[in-house]
Amino acid sequence: MASALTREKTRRFGGEASLGIAFVIPMVVIMGGLVLLPLLSTMIDSVYNVSPMRAGTPFVGFKNYIDLFSNTTVNQSWRNTFYYVVLAVVLETAGGLATALLLNKVKIGRRWLLAAVVLPWCLPPVVNAVVWMWIYNPSYGLLTGVLHSTGLMTGPSLFFNDRYVMLFLVTLVHVWRMMPLTAIILLAALQSIPKDLYQAARLDGASSFKCFRLITLPLISGGLAIALSQSTVFAFNLFDEAWILNRASLDTRTVIIQVYLDAFQNLKFSLGMALSLLAMLASLLVSLFYVLKVYRETRFD
Amino acid sequence: MTHRNFALAGGKIGTIIAVLVLLVWSVGPIYWSLATSFTSPTDLISAEPHFWPADMTLEHYAKLFGSTSMSQGNKVASVWPQFSRAIINSVITSVAATFITVAIAAFAAYAFARMKFPGRNVLFFVVVGTLAIPAYTVMIPLYRLMIALHLVDTYVGVTLIYVSAFLPLALWLMRSVYQSMPLSLEEAAWMDGAGRVYTLVRIIMPLAAPGLIAAAIITFLNAWGQFLVPLVFSPTLTTKPLTVLIPEFVSRNYVDYGLINAAGIIAIIPPVLVVLFLNRFLVSGLMAGATK
C-alpha cells in the first residue's frame, strides 16, 4: 500500500521541480531585475565616476570612498544617524517591552488596546511627521502649550534652535511609529512562554523580578534579537521624519538624506552609491552583532 | 490579608494608569490632528491650546474639496484638482502593488514550503536576505534603469518598485503560513485525484486566507505610506501620491496647519479603517512573520 502510494506520487509529481520553478519565476524576475542587479550595479559603479552631467564613466578606484571619509558634511550625517540609531533602538526596545508586558497582562478590552497601539505603525510616516510638526510648533504647538500651562517653561520656546533637542524630537516621531512593531514582536514571544514555568517558580518562592530575569528574558531572547535588528535597520534608514521636520538641515541630516542629496540634487550618482553601500554595510553589521550577542548571552544552557 | 488586597488594588490602579498613558501616547497625536482640522484659523493661532475645537469649522476641508475657497479674506483656487489626482494615484499604485505582490508570493511561497526544485534553499535565502538591505541602496541604479525603460513617472514603474520592495516580507509570511498547515490536507486531495495547481488554488489558498489577508494588509500599508520612492520616481501629478503632495502644502514661510492636518486626516482614513476592521489579521500576520 505504502509503496503503491509512493509510486503513484512519483508518477503524478514527476514534474514537481518544473512546477516549483514555474511558481517562483515571476518572483525571480522581479527580485533579480529590480533588486539584485541594481545592487550589483551599485557595487560596480561605486568605483567609477558616473554622473548624468558628464560623458563617459572613468574608473576612479576607491576615490569616491576616500572623498566620503574626508567630507565633513558626510561625517556629520553619519554622527546624526548613529545618534538616531542608538536613541531610537533604546527607546523602542524599552517602550516596546513595557507595552508588550502590559498587553500580555490586560484581559479586558485587549483587542481595542492592541488596535490603538498598532495604529501609529500603520500610518504614512509623512503624515506622522506633519502631525508632530504641528505639535512641535514653537508658537502655537501643543508641546509649547503643555510646557507653558504646567509651568515647566516660560517665555518663547526655542527647541528648534538646539541641535540635540531637534535630533531628539525627530527620533521621538520615528519611535512613535516604530515602537508598535517591537511591542508586537515581543508580545508574540511572551505569549509563547508556557504558563506553568511561572507557577513552578512561584512555588519555589521566586520574586516577580527574579521570574522576569530568569524566565521571561531568556525565553524572549529570540524575539528580542529580531526586534533589535529591525529597529536598527529602520533607524539607519530614517529619511521621512527628518526630511519633513527639518528638510536638508545639516543638524538633523541622516545618511540616507545625504545619499538623496548627492544623487538626485547634486547628481553625483557614484558618490551616492558608495555612501548607500556603506550605510547598508553598517546596518547589516550592527544587526548581525545583536543577533549573535543576544543569542549568546541569554541562551538557556 | 488586607496587606495583600492593598497590593492587588495598587497593582490594578498601576495597570489602569499605564493603559491610559499608552492610549494617550498612541492615539493622542491623531486626536490632536483631527481636532486641529476642525478648528478655525483664528483659534489655531491663539495662545492657549484648544483641546476641543471651540466652534467647529469645515473651512480646511472646504479648501481641499471645494472648487474655490476663502483664504485670509481672498478668494483662491482650491487644491482639489491636485488633491483628487493624488488620492487616485495613491489608490492605484497601492492596490496594484498589493494584488501583484500577494499573487506572486502566494505561489512562490508554496513552492518554497512544499515543493522540491534545484536551488530552492539558496533562492529563498537570497530573496529573504534582501529584507536586511535598505531599499534605498538600490535606488540610484534603479533610477537609471527606469529612465532607460521610460518607466519614470508611470504607474507601472512605481508599482514594480513597490512589488520588489515588499515581496520578500510577503513571501516570508506566506511560507510560514503554508508550513503551519497540515500536509494531510493536500495528501487527501491528491488521493482524490486533484492536481497540484488545483489543490493549491481551490483547497490550500482558501484555508490560508487569513495569511493572504495579512500579507495584503502589510503590503498595502507599506505602499500607501511610501515617500522616498515616489519622491524620486513620481515627479509630476501623473503619478504623484498623497504622501508627496501633502508636504508640498508646507511652503517655506507660511504653513497652513489647518489644511495640512485636514489633508493628513484624509490620507490616514484607509489605514485607520484597516486597524478598526482587520486588526486581527494584521497583528497575527506581524506575529507570524516575527516568530517563525
> What pLDDT digit, counting tens, does each position of B270-288 carry?
999 999 999 999 998 888 7
β-pairing, B74-77 vs B68-71, is antiparallel
Check if A173 contacts B (Cβ < 8 Å): no
CB A253, CB A74: distance < 8 Å = no
Inter-chain residue contact B115 with A35, CB threshold 8 Å: no
Nearest-Cα residue of chain A relative to residue B47: A140
| Within a domain: B64 | no
Q: What pLDDT is recorded for position A253? A: 95
CA distance A53 to chain B (A): 13
Q: How far is B68 from chain A (nearest CA, A)?
A: 24
Q: Name the residue among A121, A258, A228 with its Cα closest to residue B279.
A: A121
Q: Which residue, among A85, A121, A134, A241, would best test binding to B if mutated, counting the most B CBs under 10 Å from its CB?
A: A134
Q: How confident is the model at residue B113 (pLDDT cuts 50, 70, 90)?
A: very high
pLDDT of A65: 92
Model confidence pLDDT, tens digit, residues B146-174: 999 999 999 999 999 999 999 999 999 99
Same domain (yes/no): B95, B155: yes
CA distance B96 to A30: 15
Number of domains in chain B: 2
Q: Domain span at residue B39?
A: 2-57
| Chain A residues whose beta carbon lies within 8 Å of the beta carbon of residue B117 | 16-18, 20-21, 24
Q: Which of A83-92, A133-142, A163-172, B62-71 has the weakest average pLDDT? A: B62-71
Q: Same domain for B48 and B85?
A: no
**Residue B68 domain-assigned?**
no
Chain B within 8 Å of A45 (Cβ-Cβ)?
Answer: yes
Q: How confident is the model at residue B73 (pLDDT cuts 50, 70, 90)?
A: low
The verdict on A16 touching B (C-beta cutoff 8 Å) is yes
Q: To the nearest whole number, what is the mean pLDDT of chain B?
A: 88
Residue A290 included in any domain: yes
The answer on B261 and B220 residing in a single domain is: yes
Residue contact A276–B136, C-beta within 8 A: yes
Instruction: Say whether pLDDT at B191 is over 50.
Output: yes
Per-residue model confidence (pLDDT) at position B52:
76
Q: Residue A273 belongs to what domain range?
A: 64-298
Q: What residues in B contact A17, CB-CB < 8 Å?
A: 115-118
Distance CA B289, CA B179 (A): 12
Cα A154-B49-B57 angle, rounded to 5 deg: 155
Whether pLDDT at A2 is above 60: no
Report which listed range, A44-58, A98-112, A281-295, is most confident: A98-112
Whether B53 and B125 map to the same domain: the answer is no
Query: Predicted confidence band at B142 (pLDDT cuts at 50, 70, 90)?
Result: very high
Confidence band, pLDDT 50/70/90 cuts, at residue A141 = confident
Segment (H or E) for B75: strand B74-77
**Is residue A291 within 8 angstroms of chain B, CB to CB?**
no
- Residue A49 has, within 13 A of its CA and on its CB side, a CA count of 11
- Given a contact cutoff of 8 angstroms between Cβ atoms, the answer to whether B155 and B247 are in contact is no
A176 contacts B25? CB cut-off 8 A: yes
Residue A53 domain flag: no
A17 Cβ under 8 Å from any chain B Cβ: yes
Complex-level ipTM: 0.91
Specify the number of domains making up chain A: 1
The DSSP string of B237-270 is: TTT--HHHHHHHTB-SS-B-HHHHHHHHHHHTHH
Q: What is the per-residue burial (b if ≥16 Cβ within 10 Å, else e) of B54-70?
A: eeebebbbbbbbeeebe
The DSSP symbol for A59 reads B
Q: Which residues of A touch B158 (CB under 8 A)?
A: none
Task: Yes or no: say if B109 and B174 are a contact pair by the CB < 8 Å rule.
Answer: yes
Higher pLDDT, A125 or B258: A125
Dump pLDDT digits (tens) for A5-52: 555 554 445 578 889 999 999 999 999 999 999 999 888 988 888 877
DSSP A251: T
A102–B108 CB contact, under 8 Å: no
Q: What is the CATH number of the domain that holds B239?
A: 1.10.3720.10
Predicted local confidence at residue A206, as pLDDT: 82
User: Which of A102-116, B10-24, B67-81 has the lowest average pLDDT?
Assistant: B67-81
Residues of chain B above pLDDT 90, percent: 54
At position B47, the amino acid (one-letter code) is A
On the question of pLDDT at A148 being above 90, the answer is no
> Can you tell me the distance from the alpha carbon of B147 to that of B150, in angstroms, rounded to the nearest whole number?
5
* CATH code of the domain in which A177 resides: 1.10.3720.10
Q: Residue A236: its chain B contacts at CB < 8 A?
A: 134
Closest CA to B271 of B64, B52, B91, B25: B91
* Cα nearest neighbour of A136 on chain B: B29
A136 touches chain B (CB under 8 A): no
Q: What 3 state SS string does A8-50 have?
A: HHHHHCCCHHHHHHHHHHHHHHHHHHHHHHHHHHHHHHCCECC
Give the closest of B18, B111, B160 to A20, CB-based: B111
Question: How far is residue A289's CA from residue A298's CA, in Å, rounded to a whole number?
Answer: 14
Q: Average pLDDT for residues B198-225, to the nearest whole number?
A: 94
Nearest by Cα to B143 from B223, B233, B226, B230: B233
Is residue A49 one of the residues assigned to a domain? no
Residue at A187 is within a domain: yes
Poorest-pLDDT segment among A211-215, B44-48, B61-65, B283-287: B44-48
In the numeric block, the cell 559603479 is attached to A45
Residue A155 is assigned to a structural domain of this protein: yes
Q: Are residues B41 and B151 in the same domain?
A: no
Q: With an 8 Å Cβ cutoff, are A189 and B291 in contact? A: yes
Rounded alpha-carbon distances, angstroms, from residue B206 to A245, B166, B167, B169, B189: 44, 22, 20, 20, 14
A233–B134: do the CB atoms touch at under 8 Å? yes
pLDDT of residue B112: 94
Of residues A102, A111, A277, nearest to B22 (C-beta): A102
> Are residues B53 and B136 located together in one domain of the fold?
no
Is the CB of B136 less than 8 angstroms away from the CB of A119? no
C-alpha B81, offset from chain centre = 24
Per-residue confidence band for B226, with pLDDT thresholds at 50, 70 and 90: very high
Q: Print burial letters for A79-102: b (CB count within 10 Å at least 16), e (below 16).
A: ebbebbbebbbebbbebbbbbbbb
Closest Cβ opposite residue A127 in set B140, B141, B267: B267
What pLDDT is recorded for position B4? Answer: 63
A122 or B197: which carries more pLDDT confidence? A122
- Of B42, B57, B72, the residue at which a domain comes to its end is B57
Q: Report d(CA A177, CA B26) in Å as an integer.
A: 9
pLDDT average, residue stretch B20-45: 90
Alpha helix segments (H runs only) across chain A: 2-12, 16-31, 37-45, 63-69, 72-105, 110-122, 125-135, 142-149, 163-191, 195-203, 208-211, 217-219, 221-236, 240-246, 255-260, 269-298
| Phi and psi angles of residue A240, each rounded to the nearest 5 degrees, phi first | -55, -50
Question: Rounded distance, CA A205 to CA A207, Å?
Answer: 6
- pLDDT tens-digit readout, A200-245: 888 888 888 888 888 888 888 888 888 998 899 899 999 999 999 9
- Residues B39, B176, single domain; the answer is no
Q: Would the pTM count as exceeding 0.90?
A: yes
Q: Do A120 and B136 touch (CB under 8 A)?
A: no
Q: Do B283 and A114 touch (CB under 8 A)?
A: yes
In this structure, the answer to whether residues B113 and B206 fall within a common structural domain is: yes
Q: Which of A83-87, A244-248, B89-93 has the lowest mean pLDDT?
A: A244-248
Between chains, do A111 and B267 touch, taking CB under 8 Å as contact? no
Contact A181, A95 (CB under 8 A): no
pLDDT at B270: 96
User: Cα(A6)–Cα(A23) distance, rounded to whole angstroms?
Assistant: 24
- DSSP H or E stretch at residue B113: helix B80-114
More confident residue, B195 or B48: B195
- Contact flag A122-B196 (C-beta cutoff 8 Å): no
Instruction: State the pLDDT at residue A11.
Output: 47
Cell numbers placing A55: 560623458
The pLDDT confidence band at residue A104, using thresholds 50, 70 and 90, is very high
Asked if A48 has any chain B CB less than 8 Å from its own CB, the reply is: no
Write down the pLDDT at residue B192: 86
Which pLDDT score is estimated for A222? 84
Set of chain B residues whose Cβ sits within 8 Å of the Cβ of A38: 138, 141-142, 145
Domain assignment of residue B37, yes or no: yes
- Is residue B32 domain-resident? yes
Q: Is there a contact between A27 and B260 if contact means CB atoms under 8 Å apart?
A: no
Nearest CA-CA distance, residue A117 and chain B, Å:
6
Contacts of B26 in chain A (CB under 8 A): 116-117, 119-120, 180
pLDDT at B252: 59
Q: Do A223 and B291 touch (CB under 8 A)?
A: yes
- The answer to whether A124 contacts chain B (CB < 8 Å) is yes
Of the candidates B15, B139, B164, the beta carbon closest to that of A30 is on B164
Q: What is the mean pLDDT of residues B2-8?
A: 66
- With beta carbons less than 8 A apart as the criterion, state whether B259 and B134 touch: no
